[in-house]
Amino acid sequence: MMINNRFKMETTPQEEAFGRLSEEGMLNAMFECQGILTDVDQDWPRNLPKEDLDTIYEDYLSAVCWLDHIINQNSAGNSLPRSKYLGEWMQHFEWGLLPYATSLDFKFKFLHARLVKVMGVHGTPSIKGCTAKEVIR
């Protein structure tokens, strides 16, 4: 969800986390396309403090739970209105999650698998294995 500061919206913390993290994923992909992120520390995100990783995990977890709530056919949130860009936003969100899922412990890998399942229910393909240019389109 691209947050436009001129138009404040009431959102849940989970929806806000999804919007912030999908925007962060999109910006990371754009920077990578432009060659700005080529000299990133090779140990990142493994060298982050445990407290920071726990906070990041909780943000991603709450956002995936919110997605599951609005997309799952058996959920009351399924009747909520959705943007036509939700699929692209989920792919940007996944791009931001992938560095954690590919280089850290099972929590992030499990969370990525859950996200891919939710994306499949929505009909959005996973971008794992894609380049940053393919993510930005």
Domain boundaries of the chain, sorted by first residue? 13-32+47-136
- The answer to whether 90 and 124 have CB atoms below 8 angstroms apart is yes
State which residues of the chain have pLDDT below 70: 1-10, 37-43, 75-81
Taking all residues of the chain, what is their mean pLDDT, rounded to a whole number?
84
Q: What is the pLDDT of residue 37?
A: 65
Q: CA 15 to CA 1: how far, in whole Å? A: 9
pTM flag (> 0.95): no
Q: CA 25 to CA 30: how far, in whole Å? A: 9
Q: Which two tokens stand for residue 42?
A: 């090779």
| 3-state secondary structure (DSSP) of residue 47 | coil
77: CB partners within 8 A, 6+ apart: 69, 70
Q: What is the pLDDT of residue 126?
A: 95
Q: What is the pLDDT of residue 1?
A: 46
Amino acid at the residue 99: P
